[in-house]
Structure 1
Amino acid sequence: MTTTKRRRVLAGATAALVCAGVCAGQAATAVAAPGERVSTADRATLQRSLDELTTTGAQGVQVRITEGRRQTVLRSGTADHGGERPVPREGAFRVGSITKTFVATVVLQLVAEGRVELDAPVARYLPGLLPDGDRITVRMLLQHTSGLANYTGLLPTGPEEFSTPEAFEEERYRHHEARDLVALAAAQPLDFEPGTSWSYSNTGYLVAGLLVEEVTGQSWREAVEERVVEPLHLRGTSAPGDRVTLPPPHAHGYARIGGEVVNVTRMNATIAGAAGEVVSTTADLDRFLDALLDGRLLPAAQLAEMKRTTPVSPQYGLGLVAAPLECGVTAWGHDGGIAGYTSIALSTEDTRERVVLSLSTAPDPGEFRGGNELISEVFCG
């Protein structure tokens, strides 16, 4: 799971959004209810922004824009390197760290049920797992203020980190146990005293997944399925575990490894686990974000905790990011990156405007220019 490029997505209020584009001339779908206001986002501006993304690092892209009851679905690029097949409008993709919002939602549901305390030490639920488990709280896991080393910085997790296609091939289908990855990180010194600073750590969410399993007796995958996916009828969403394929239809992601173009779509995503394993669609992520911010998944108190930032963590709540835009609007959501795919899901607090976008990477990813313009056009136009 790659994190360096992806962490720029929401930094500085989507200052370097890694997103996707729309091929010129491709039709978009849009349905407006009677009496609903017409979309304020200019189609030509969206088109230009998305086209720029497909020429600066994206192989293909799909985006779903919601304004009131009106939805617009756009796509760009191709589903395959060197091919002509268009990106599926309802294609599946790996959401990467947007998984964290699903997992945090489940943890906060357990808080609402009185089965977990946010400010209780992790050692209460997982004794012996972390050397500093008596000083790291559940809240710190979800807000990236635990100080836990990021395990993804301790082993190769992205295709670009391998020197040859053969080396990548040896690793891409390997099963990983969350406890082994946590142990790898826990053997490192803390990055800082728990609660005193902020640093993005996928390790914290692997621990959160283990906590869910300990408290519920279910795997975190089963808990997400039962508590989020099934109630919202998210038919295109799953946590695949050892399944290496994506359900059709889908676009393919690529990387250049040792000078060769490699299709990196197939992989065992247990290396991401509760930090980034989920597969979904733009329609499902749009429905999930709408339901979450609308208070249909969490009681008001727990939703408020999810959105509560601190001086130490001024933009990151609990599995949810606040992205203040230049026009004064604050969008809420999360971004994600994993081999072959980069995604983002953003919404206004009242859920009236929403954007869900996924790009599949070209062999030679660039700067992904155009994302800022797209977000500004939707939320500020």
Structure 2
Amino acid sequence: MTDKTVIVGTGIAGVSAAAAMRAAGYEGVIELVGDEPELPYRRTTVSKEIVRGAKTPDEVRIKSADWYEKQDVTLRIGERVESIDDLDADQVLLATGGRARTFGELPPGVRTLRALADVDDVRAGIASGADLVVVGAGLIGSEIAASARELGCDVTLLETAPLPLARVLPPQLGQMYVDLHKAAGVELHTGVAVTGIEESDGLTVVRGDNGQSWSAPLVVLAVGMAPDTTLAEAAGLELDPAGGIVVDELGRTSREGVFAAGDVASMPNTLVGGRHRPEHWQHAQNHGTAVGKAMAGAGEPFDEVPWAWSDQYGHMLQLTGWPSAEHDVEIRGSLDDHDFTAYFLQDGVVRGAVGIGRPREIRAARIWVAERARFEEVA
């Protein structure tokens, strides 16, 4: 009897797992199932090149259409899996990623921007250079604001925290992004919690807890991602209270034969302790590859140091490890010139790094994090 694997999720984690299984010699049936009616694509481009119209969806496919046939992977797009128990499979991989967080029921003028299906409405709203309000100044919200400014929109950017990217950047780096936004003409308001969004006179109005309100034809919510654990919950899998599906170092869940990979998986952090669930493209790709190998019987424990990037206003921010605003920070280079690396230290040990214009230093820092190196001994 031929083995059968069903991978639920057609993002980078799912596609990478399928590719890794074949590369590791798995000869069974592989079905790749996703609810988006699209050939798998690079989601990181949605808030940048795609929404600006700089690239088409066909230019950002993860694999060409004929790759799936050549690899004997059955691609089932536009299909929603209702239950793991309905799948006729020996193994199941949940690579379901996440969904954009929202504030519940919202008026028609509010959009999120996470999937290709979101692009047309957002692009139509910003292509004419109309006003735009973006709620959330994290990586995605900042990228949307930068893309809209490039198209000539008047952009208002709202953030609950005192500074952009406050969870991972110390104040001096957060202030650098304040300056970047303002220099580009973005109206940035920090320390504002949204209390309501409503329609009024043909516009969408966002109200803040400071008594102010902002209105525009279009409002884009960029307030984070919620891991899609719907199938896992229904199947009784162990979940992490902090979010995601609990897996071990090989991607195995609490149920035999069921694995999870990518943004939805909460995995052991062998370097700093506890669990972590990185929400980065590169991590999802590499974790999907590792779990695919494990499902093919060729797995090794996965303990990679995460790495990610964000492109805003022509400056590529790269980050690695687990930088925290609570860490001590050593900065090499110039924040004013947007040419620096900031090293994040905990009791002298390198835990992460953030930089602009210094990719070699970020690569080195990634190694230092993995080696638990002391900054004074390596820098």
Bin for the TM-score computed over the shorter chain: under 0.3
The structure with more helix, counted as a fraction of residues: 1
The structure with more strand, counted as a fraction of residues: 2
Q: Which has the higher contact order (CA 8 A, sep 6+)?
A: 1
TM-score if structure 2 supplies the norm length?
0.24
